[in-house]
Amino acid sequence: MLALLLWVFSVYGFLSAVWHVLQLLTFRKPAFPPTRVYLVVHNGESFIEGLLRRIAAEIVDRVPRLRVVVVDECSEDNTPAIVERIAAREPWLELAALETGGTAGIRPAGEAELPHRWLGFDLRVPGGLEAVLPTLRLLCGTETGRVSRSRDFAGDGAHNRGSL
């Protein structure tokens, strides 16, 4: 009787282990669409390197197919040089330098028909810098809660005012 009970528990344990292994093998990560993050900056030498390093440390590995585009609006400091130096080592980063003021052309031509999600942050205005990391953490699921986005835009090209 005891042998039969031990045999039943061992078969149950074995089947349970096989079930869990199969569950792990068939687990799929959530499919993220390609994501672009646009950071519009002017004279951001004092903070841009730190921000990009934080994005690399906290966000890049968690959001597959992430591209960060730093849009430099005629900076008079070393912002473009800092971004170019980091972009030479990091495939997820690129610099788009605007020759004239205005951000109307921050989305490259031909990109509108690509199926991807994009977020944009205007780092030239108060509060723009503070919204970047919390919003990106919400995007990859490492932070919950609401983020005020009254000065940034996100989505499919339409200007949204609200929270994720």
Q: Domain limits of the chain? A: 35-102+115-155
Residues 13-65 pLDDT 10s: 999 998 888 888 776 666 667 888 899 998 888 999 999 999 888 888 888 78
Distance (Å, rounded) from C-alpha 61 to C-alpha 56? 8
Cα–Cα distance measured from residue 70 to residue 129, given in angstroms and rounded to the nearest whole number: 13
pLDDT tens-digit map of 102-147:
555 555 544 555 557 788 888 888 888 888 888 888 877 766 554 4
User: Quick one: residue 33, left, alpha or beta (phi over 0 = left, psi -120 to 50 = alpha)?
Assistant: beta
CA 132/CA 46 separation, integer angstroms: 16
pTM exceeds 0.75, yes or no = no
Q: Pull the structure tokens for residue 45.
A: 């030498």
Superfamily of domain 35-102+115-155: Spore Coat Polysaccharide Biosynthesis Protein SpsA; Chain A (3.90.550.10)
